[in-house]
Structure 1
Amino acid sequence: MKHASWRGLLAGQVAIWTLAVGGLPLAAGQGQVIRFDRPAGKWVEALPVGNGRLGAMVFGGTSRERIQLNEDSVWAGPPVPVNADNLGPKLAEIRRLFFAGRNAEGEQRVAREILAPRISPRSYQTLGDLWIEDLDAGGGEAADYERALDLQTAVATTHFRQGGATSRREVFASAPDDVLAVRVETDRPDGLNLRIRLDRPADFATRAEGNDLLIMEGRAQHDGKQLGVRWLAALKAIPEGGRVRAEGNDLRIEQARAVRLLLTAATDYNFDNPDEPLTRDRRAWCLDRLAKTAGLEWAELKARSVADHRVLFDRCVLDLGDTAPELAAKPTPARLEAFRQGAEDPDLIETYFQYGRYLLICSSRPGSLPANLQGLWNEHLKAPWNSDYHININLQMNYWPAEVTGLPELTEPFFRLVQGLRRKGGEMARKLGCRGFAASHTTDAWQWAALMGRPGYGMWPFGAAWCTAHAMEHYRFTGDREFLERVGYPLLRESAAFLLDWLVEDPETGLLVSGPTTSPENSYRFQGRRLHLAMGNAMDQMIIRENFENLLEAAGVLGVQEPLLDEVRAALPRLARPQVGPDGRILEWGHPYEEAEPGHRHVSHLYGLHPGRLINPWDEPDLLAAARKVLTYRLSHGGGHTGWSRAWIINFYARLLDGDAAWDNLRALLAKSTLPNLFDTHPPFQIDGNFGGCAGIAEMLLQSHDRRGTIRLLPALPKAWSRGEVRGLRARGGFVVDIRWREGRLEGARLVSLLGNRCRVAWGDRTGEWPTSRGEIIELDGRLRRIR
C-alpha cells in the first residue's frame, strides 16, 4: 500500500481512537523528566530526541557541545542474501533425514544446500555530528549545571553558569516542521562567539553556502562497498542580534545574544520500492524545508512541536505513588543506582514506562521507517547487528506497547515494512516450493527475505508470520475494518498460504509439523553433537496455529469465503500441539532433547503465553503449570541476562497472573540491564527492552486477550504497588480504560467505549457485562457495580 493510502486509513483510525477522550493532564514530577547534573561523558549518557525520521543525541557539553545526528533511511546497501532456486526437493530429502533421527546429517545439508551466505556489514548509519564550540568559554568550571529531557514536551535542555555568564540550550525534533531545532542563548555582555560545524566519521563532504548555511552530503557505504543511500543534510543559522558568517566549511556566530540552528536532511531512499531510489533534488528539498521553518519565531516553532508530541504522549498517565523528595531531587543515574540498592522509587518506574512510550513516538511516525534495533539513535557506521530489523522477536517487541498504551497510529511504519516484504518474501516462498510469502529472522531497509547464515539463527522462515499477528491485534484494538481489509487480511492470507505448504506430515504421528527449523538461536544436544534444527518445534507450531485462527477470524469479520480458508480449516485439527516433557516443562523442540544452554535468552516455546494467547488461564489453562516450570528453570540457569529477554519475562509472569514475579523481573531489568540515560542494554544498547518493559507494566495492570474479550483489571498487580492510578490504557474491543486502586484493591474504573461493542469486565472473581453504544462511558466502583 502506498503511503498516501495509509494517510486515509490513519485519519479514520485517529478519529475512532480519540472519540470521547480528552487530553489527560500529567502532574508535575509524575514520570516526566530524565535529569543529569553533568555533561554526557559517553553516548549512553546523552539524551535522545526524535520526530520519527530525524533523531539526535544531546550530550550537553559546556565549552563544546556534541549533538549526534540520525536520519532513519541512512543505510549502506546491497548486495543482500538471496536463496538458490528450487529448494523444495532438497528440503523433502532433508526432512526425511530428520524423521529418521539423522539430525546432524540433515543440519549439515541445510547449512550446505539451503542457507544463503550472510553478507555483512550492511548497516544503518549515523548521519553525523553537529558541533557547537564556544570560543569564549575559557575552559573554566561550569556551575549550577543541569541537563534534562522532558518526556512530555520532548525538549532537551542544558543550563549552566560559566565565567560569570549563564548559558541555556534547547533541542527538539519537530514532527510538524520536520527539522531538528537548536537554540543557544547567553547573558554574556558581548554575546555568543561560536563555531558551528558538521562532520561524520567517513564518506562525506561539507561546505558552506552563503553566510548562514552548511551542507553535508555523502553516500552510506562500507569502505567503498555496499553502496547504499545517498543523503544530504542542511543547517541554517539564525542569529538573534550579532551576525553569522562562513569561515571555510564552518559557520561563525559573533556577538549574538542567541542563535537558532535548524537542520534537516533528505535521502534518495524509496520505502515503497527500495530498488528504485528517489530522484528528487535533495538540496532543494532541504532548503525549501528550512526556508519555511526559518520564518517561525522560536516560541511558535517549539509550541507546534510540543503540541504535536503531546497529542500522543498525553493519552496515557501512570501514577504509582510518591517518591521521597530527597531521592526525587537526585539525577537519574543516582536514582537508578539507589534503586539497584533497594530504594523504593515509584516515580522512576513511571518514568521508565513513559520513556518507552516516548521512544516509540520519537522513532516511529507515519511515513518514517520502523523503529530498528536501536530505535532511531545510532552513532556508528557499523552498528551492532547492523541496527537492522530482527523479526524473530526484536522488531515485534518494539511495537508491543503501541496498541495498549494508546499509540496505534505509530504502527504504520511496521506494517509498511511487512507489506514491503511481500515481494521478496514471495520469491523466497516460491524457491522453497511454497505459495504465499515468508521471511526469515531478519531484514533491513532493503526489504529482502532469505534463509541465510548459520542454521542456529538463519533456518527459520517465520518472521513474516509472526509479524502478521500484529495486524489482527491492531484490528482487535481499533476496530479498523478498512485496515483489516486492505492490509491485515492480505498479509494473513499470504502467510497462511506459505504455512500450509511448509507443513509436512510426521510419519510417526500423522500430525502436521514444521521443520527443519531452529527454535530461535537456541541449541540442543543429540547423539553427542550440539545441534540447532529439529522438526515440530513449539514456537513454529504456535505461530502456525495463531496465524490460521487469525485468518479465519478476519475472514469472518469481512465475510470472506475462499478455498484457502477450507484448507486452513482442514489443517487446524491436524496441527501438532506443544508437548510437555517428562520433567513437566513445555518441550521447546519436537522431542525431549537435552538443552545445550538451559539459561538461553530466547524463551521461544512460551510464544503461546505471550505475545500469543494460546496458553491462558481462561481458555486453555492446561499448559500453564508447564509454562511456569519453563520460566523457573530458565531463570535458575541464568536466563533473562539480556535486557529484552528480561522484558519478555515480565510479560510472561503478567500473563501467569503473578504480579510479584513480574515486579521482581522489572526490578531486575532496571538494576541489571538499564544504562544511565535509561536506554536498555543487551549489552550493548538495544532499544527493544525499553519497549518490552513498558508493555510489561501495562500487561500487569490490564489484560484483554482471552477469547471472550474480557477486560481484566489489575490482573498481575504486585504487592509493591499498593496504591495507584492509570489512565488511558486501551483494551481489545475498542475501550479506553482508567483504573484506581488502594491497598492492593480496586477502588474504581472508568471505561469509554469507542466502537460500541459489548463490555465485559473482570477483577479478581468478580465480573460485569454491559452493552454499549459508541462513545458511552461506564464508571464502576470497587465491586464492579456500575455507578454511571
Structure 2
Amino acid sequence: MNQLNEKLWYRQPASKWEEALPIGSGMLGAMVFGGIMEERIQLNEDSIWYGGPMKRRNVDSGKRMKEIRELLFQGKLNEAERLARMTLTSAPKHFGPYQSLGDLKLFFHGVSGEAQSYRRELDLQEGIVKLKYDVSGIRFEREAFASYVDHVIVLRLNADVPGGISLSAHLGRRPFDGQISREGSDTVFMTGQCGPDGVHYCTTVKAVATGGSVFASGDFLSIEAADNVTFYVTAATTFRFKDPYEECLRRLEVATAKEYSAIRNDHVQDYRSLYGRVSLELEECERNDQNRLPSAYPADERLARLQEGYSDNGMMALFFQYGRYLLISSSRPGTLPANLQGVWNESYTPPWESDYHLNINLQMNYWPAESCNLAECHEPVFDLLDRMRENGRETAREVYGARGFVAHHATNLWADTDIVGLYMPAIIWPMGGAWMALHAWEHYRFSMNEAFLRERAYPILKEAAEFVLDILVEDKSERLVTAPSVSPENSYRLPGGQVGRLCIGPSMDSQIAYALFQASIDAISMLQIDEEFGQRLREALEKLPEPRIGKYGGLMEWAEDYEEMEPGHRHISHLFALYPGEQIAPNHNDELAHAARISLERRLAHGGGHTGWSRAWIIHFWSRLKVADMAFEHLKALLDHSVHPNLLGDHPPFQIDANFGGTSAIAEMLLQSHREEISLLPALPAVWRTGKVTGLRARGGCVVDIAWKDGKLDWAVIHASSDRECIIRHTPLNRRASGADEQNSGHKALLLRMVGGQSYRLGLADFDNDSLYE
C-alpha cells in the first residue's frame, strides 16, 4: 500500500482543537497541536466524569405506567406525554458530563523566528504523532504516543544541536485547576475531584533529559539546555484505584526504568498486533494536477481538493484505517467504551455530555470492531453491559414491573439505566439494552467462541429478552407491541393534527425484538439449554408486527401509517431490519428491500443525512441494498461535509461515530456476511476499479482477503476457523449500480464446505459453474 495513505500530515501547527492529532491508549488520550513557541497537549482519562453514582429514579414511575399506556391506546397523546414527563423521567434529569483532564503546556525558550520545513503527521502504521521543523538554525523533532503497555503518554523532544532544548512545562485544568504539587525535582502532579461524590483524580508529568538540567520551579518543570527530553504523563482515578496518586507514581517508576526506545518499541509492537491485521489498497483512477498522486498533498488539502471534485481513492482508504486507529486508541480491554467523542474531549460541558447514547451512537462506534478485525476492542462494551444489567434489573422491576434488565436512550460512567432527560422524542425508549445485547451475539457470530456464548453472551441476551417479553402488550390487532415508546428521535402527526412522540409499537422496537428473540432462540439451540424459555420466545416472535409498507411505498416507521413530522429526519430507525439487522435483505424479501430503498430515497429527498453518523448509516443501507454508486456517493458526501481537518467526524460539532460508522461502511461495501452467506464485493463502486483488501472478518469465524482488477473479482481467500458450509456470493459489476436481484443476473453463488484451519482460494471462474467447492 502507498504508505502516504496511512499518514495524516500537515504543513502547519493546529490552530484549533479540530486540527490537532489524537493519540490514545483506550484509558488515556491526548490531542497534540504541534506548536512551535508554545505546545498544547490536551489530556483525557476515560473515567473523568462529573458527579458520582446516584439514585435518580422517579418515585412515581412504577405507579402510572398502566395509565400512560391506556391514554396512548385511547389516542390521548398530549395527556400521555404530560403524565410520562412528570412520572417517568428521573430526578435529577441529566447526567454529569465526561470532561477534559486538562492541558500540558510547553513554553519554549531560546529560539525565535519562523519555522522552516515544518511537517506534522500521524503515522497510522506506528500509532505515533511526529513533528519536524527548523528554527534558529536547529532541527527539532518530536514524537508523541500513548502506550497501552505502560499506561503512559510519552512526548519525546530532540534537537540536532547539543543543549538546544530549553522550555518550561505546566499542567493545568482551567477553570477547574486541582491542587498542583511537586514530587522531587522532575515531577509535578495535579489532584482534585470531579464534582460532589465524583471521582478523585491524579495526573502526573515527569521529565527525563539528556544533557542540561531538569528542575521544578513553582508549579512548573523547567528544562534548560538539554539535548533531548522525554515527558511521561499518566493519570488515574478512584473509579479504578483506591489511591490514584500512588498508582500514577508506580506507572512512572515502571516506565522510566525502561529506555525510551524500549517503551516506543513495546508500544509499536502492541499497536501493530491489532492495526496490522487489515490492509486496504485502492488504486487511483487518475493523477491530479502536475501528474501528482493525491497522497502527495497534506490531509487538509486533500480534503479541500476532494470537495472541489478531484478523485482521491487513497483518502478513502486512509479514512478507513483512521477509523480503525481511533477504535484501537479509545477502546481496549480493561478500559471504558468509546463515548460520543471516543476518549478525546476538550470541554467541561461537552455536547450531549459526551455520554453513551444507546439509540444508535454507541452501537455505531462498535460496528467496525468485528468486521474490521478488532474484536478485542469490543470487550469494554460487554463490561459496561454487565454493569448495566445490575442497574437495569432494578429499573425494569421498579418502573415496568418486569423481569430482566432495561436501559433507555443513554447511559454514563456509572452504567445508569433510568429515563434521563426531558427531550420527549428520545428518552422514553425501553430498547437500549436490547439493542446493546445484540453486540454480544455479534461477537459470538464472528468468533464462534462457544465459551463466550455460554458464559457472557447468552446471559445478556436472556435478561434483555425477558424484559422485552414482559413489557410487550397486545394492540387492537392482537400484535405484541411496546408501549410507551418512541421512534428515536422522531415525531408524527395524527389525522386530526395532534403531534405525538410517545407511541405504541414503533417499527424499530419490533425489529429489535425480532432480532433479539431470534438470536436468543439460536443461542438456546446451540447451547441445548432453556428450551421452555425458547418456546416462549418462538410464540412471541410469531405475534410481533412484521415490517409493513405505507402509503408512500416505503416501510412504515410506526405500527400505524402516521404522517411523519420530519421526512428528512437524521434517524432512520425503521430501517434497522436492513442494517444492522438482517430481517430485510435483497434476494430474500425483495418487496421489503424495495420498500426500504423508497424510505431511504424519501429521507434523502427531504434533506436526510445531514449529520456525520446519519450519513455513515446511509452508506450501510445502500451497501446492504447492493447499490454501489449510491454507497460511494454518500461516502464521498461524508468526507465532503462531515469531517474536520484532522478527519474527526462532525455531527456537527465533533462526534466520533461518523469515523467508526464510515470505517464499517467501507468494510460493508467490500464484504458482507449475514443470513449464513458471504458476499464478495457486494457494493464495489466503479471508481474503485482495482484494489485489494486483506484481513476482514466474516460471521462464522472466517477471515477474508479479496483482490479485484478492472472492477472484476481476481481472487478471494477465505480462512476458516471452524467446520461449516456457507453460500459464497459475488455481485457482478453490471448489477452493483442498480442493486438489482442477483438471481436474475445469472448464477453467481457457490456452496463452500470448509474445514477449520484451512484456507480456500476462489476465482471468478468458480462462480460460473454450479459449484460445490470442497
The TM-score range, normalised by the shorter chain, is over 0.9
Matched, 1:608 2:582: no
Q: Does structure 2 retain, via aligned residues, the 8 Å contact 1:766–1:783?
A: no
> Quick one: which amino acid aligns to residue 674 of structure 2?
H
For residue 249 of structure 2, what is the aligned residue in structure 1?
287
1:436 and 2:404 matched: yes
Cα distance in 1, alignment partners of residues 638 and 139 from structure 2: 38
Greater CA drift, 611-620 or 548-557: 611-620
Matched, 1:735 2:709: no
| Alpha carbons 1:756, 1:776 under 8 Å: kept | no
- Kept in 2, the 8 Å contact 1:80–1:119? The answer is no
1:771 corresponds to: 753
After superposing the two structures, state which structure 1 stretch, 367-376 or 455-464, moved more.
455-464
1:88 deviates by 5.0
Match of 2:321 among 354, 359, 372: 354
Q: List per-residue Cα deviations over 1:256-277 (Å, max 9, x = no partner).
A: 110011111111004xxxxxxx
Which letter does structure 2 place at the counterpart of 1:160?
Answer: Y
Q: Does 1:476 align with 2:445?
A: yes
Q: Deviations over 1:45-66 (max 9, x none)?
A: 0000011111110000001111
Is contact 1:492-1:551 (8 Å) kept? Answer: yes
Matched, 1:569 2:543: no
Q: Deviation at 1:208?
A: 1.9
The DSSP-based 3-state class of the residue aligned with 1:533 is coil
User: Residue 517 of structure 1: SS of its match in structure 2?
Assistant: coil
CA contact under 8 A between 2:507 and 2:559: conserved in structure 1? yes
Query: Cα offset for 1:83?
Result: 2.8
Aligned AA (2:520): L
User: Which of 133, 137, 140 is matched with 1:160 structurally?
Assistant: 133
Letter in 1 for 2:215: R
Alpha-carbon offset, residue 616 of structure 1: 0.7
Q: Does 1:310 align with 2:272?
A: yes
- Aligned partner of 2:187 in structure 1 is 213
Whether the 8 Å CA contact 2:187–2:204 is kept in 1: the answer is: yes
TM-superposed deviation, 1:358: 0.4
1:127 counterpart = 2:109: no
Q: Could you tell me which of 352, 376, 383 is aligned with 1:416? A: 383
Q: Once the 2 structures are TM-superposed, how far is the Cα of residue 191 of structure 1 from its aligned partner? A: 2.2
Residue by residue over 1:550-609, the C-alpha shift from the partner in whole angstroms, topping out at 9 and shown as x without a partner, is 100111111112432222122111112222112211111122222111111100000010
Inter-partner Cα distance in structure 1 for 2:68 and 2:720: 53
| Alignment-derived partner of residue 210 in structure 2 | 240
In the other structure, the counterpart of 1:617 is 586
- Equivalent-residue separation in structure 2 for 1:400 and 1:770 (angstroms): 26
Do 2:481 and 2:544's aligned partners in 1 also have CA atoms closer than 8 Å?
Answer: yes
Deviation at 1:763, TM superposition (A): 0.8
Of 27, 37, 45, the match for 1:53? 27
- Which amino acid letter does the alignment assign opposite residue 660 of structure 2? F
Q: Does the CA-based 8 Å contact 2:148-2:267 persist in structure 1?
A: yes
**In the alignment, what sits opposite 1:712?**
679
Structure 2 counterpart SS, 1:181: strand
The residue number in structure 2 matching 1:149 is 122
Partner letter of residue 154 of structure 1?
Answer: G
Q: Distance in 2 between matches of 1:623 and 1:252?
A: 67
Aligned CA distance change for structure 1 residues 452 and 256 (closer, same or farther; 3 Å): closer
Contact 2:162 2:226 in 1 (8 A): no
Q: 2:484 aligns with which of 509, 513, 516?
A: 516
Residue deviations 1:607-656 (CA, integer Å, cap 9, x gap): 01000101111333331111111111101111000000000000010001
**Could you list the runs of 5+ residues in structure 2 that have no partner in the other structure?**
732-746
Pick the aligned partner of 2:219 from 238, 249, 253. Answer: 249
Matched residues in 2 for 1:63 and 1:87: separation? Answer: 57
Contact map agreement 1:77 1:446 (CA 8 A) in 2: no
Contact 2:609 2:615 in 1 (8 A): yes
How do 1:24-43 residues align onto structure 2 when only pairs under 5 Å count?
27-29=1-3, 31-43=5-17
Aligned to 1:195: 168
**How far apart, in 1, do the equivalents of 2:50 and 2:154 lie?**
27
For 1:555, the equivalent position in structure 2 comes to 524
Query: Which residue identity is paired with 1:251?
Result: L
Letter of the structure 1 residue corresponding to residue 716 of structure 2: A
Cα distance in 1 between the residues matched to 2:185 and 2:2: 42
**1:218-617 mapped onto 2 (5 Å cutoff):** 218-221=192-195, 226-270=196-240, 278-279=241-242, 281-322=243-284, 324=287, 325-431=292-398, 432-454=400-422, 455-506=424-475, 508-526=476-494, 527-617=496-586
Contact 1:600 1:634 in 2 (8 A): yes
* Corresponding position of 1:171: 144
Q: Is the 8 A contact 2:163 2:211 kept in 1?
A: no
Alignment-derived partner of residue 652 in structure 2 = 683
Q: Please say if residues 371 and 395 of structure 1, whose CA atoms lie closer than 8 Å, have aligned partners that are also in contact.
A: yes
Could you tell me how far apart the structure 2 residues matched to 1:260 and 1:307 are? 20
In the alignment, structure 1 segments of 5+ residues that lack a partner are 1-26, 271-277
Partners of 2:748 and 2:294 in 1: how far apart?
A: 39
Q: Deviations over 1:510-535 (max 9, x none)?
A: 11111121101111122333321111
CA contact (8 A) 2:333 2:379 kept: yes
Structure 1 residue 79 displacement after superposition: 5.8
Alpha-carbon distance, 1:99 to partner: 1.8
Q: Spell out, residue by residue over 1:405-439, the C-alpha distance to the aligned partner (whole angstroms, 9 max, x if none).
A: 10111111011101110111111110211111000
Maintained 8 Å contact 1:81/1:448: no
Question: Partners of 2:59 and 2:545 in 1: how far apart?
Answer: 29
Aligned AA for 1:283?
Y
Relative to structure 1, is the Cα distance of residues 89 and 229 closer, same or farther in structure 2, using a 3 angstrom cutoff? Answer: closer
**Does the residue aligned with 2:477 lie in a helix, a strand or coil?**
coil
For residues 534 and 63 of structure 2, the distance between their equivalents in structure 1, rounded to whole angstroms, comes to: 26
Shift of 1:772: 2.1
Once the two structures are overlaid, the 10-residue window that deviates more, 80-89 or 589-598, is: 80-89
Name the residue aligned to 2:738. Answer: none
Residue aligning to 1:10: none
Report the Cα offset of residue 105 of structure 1. Answer: 2.0
1:81, distance to aligned residue in structure 2 (A): 6.6
Paired position in structure 2 for 1:14: none
Give distance in 2, aligned partners of 1:769 and 1:578.
30
Whole-angstrom distance in 2 between the partners of 1:80 and 1:521: 26
Aligned partners of 1:191 and 1:114: how far apart in 2? 63
Whether the 8 Å CA contact 1:121–1:382 is kept in 2: the answer is no
* Matching residue's letter, 1:366: P
Report the alpha carbon displacement of residue 774 of structure 1 after superposing the two structures with TM: 1.9
Aligned to 2:690: 723
Listed one character per residue, the Cα deviations across residues 735-774 of structure 1 (whole Å, up to 9, x for unaligned) are 1101111121111111111123224311134222232222
- C-alpha contact 1:654 1:699 (8 A) present in aligned 2: yes
What secondary structure sits across from 2:754 in the alignment?
A: coil
Q: Which runs of 4+ in 1 moved over 4 A?
A: 85-89, 785-788
Shift in Å, 1:135: 1.1
Would the aligned equivalents of 1:749 and 1:781 in 2 still touch at CA under 8 Å? yes
1:197-249, CA deviations, whole angstroms, 9 ceiling, x for partnerless residues? 1111214121222111111111112xxxx541111011111101111111111
Q: 1:98 aligns with which of 69, 72, 75?
A: 72
Q: Does 1:180 align with 2:180?
A: no
- Between the two proteins, the alignment pairs up a number of residues equal to 746
SS in 1 for 2:42: strand
Going from structure 1 to structure 2, the CA distance change for 1:121 and 1:569 (only over 3 Å counts) comes to closer
Structure 1 residue identity aligned to 2:186? D
Contact map agreement 1:128 1:198 (CA 8 A) in 2: yes
SS in 2 for 1:482: helix
What is the DSSP-based 3-state SS (H/G/I as helix, E as strand, rest coil) of the residue aligned with 2:707?
Answer: strand
Deviations 1:57-116 (A, max 9, x none): 000000111111111111111365733357455222222222222222222221122222
The one-letter code of the counterpart of 1:219 is Q
Structure 1 Cα separation of the partners of residues 578 and 150 of structure 2:
42
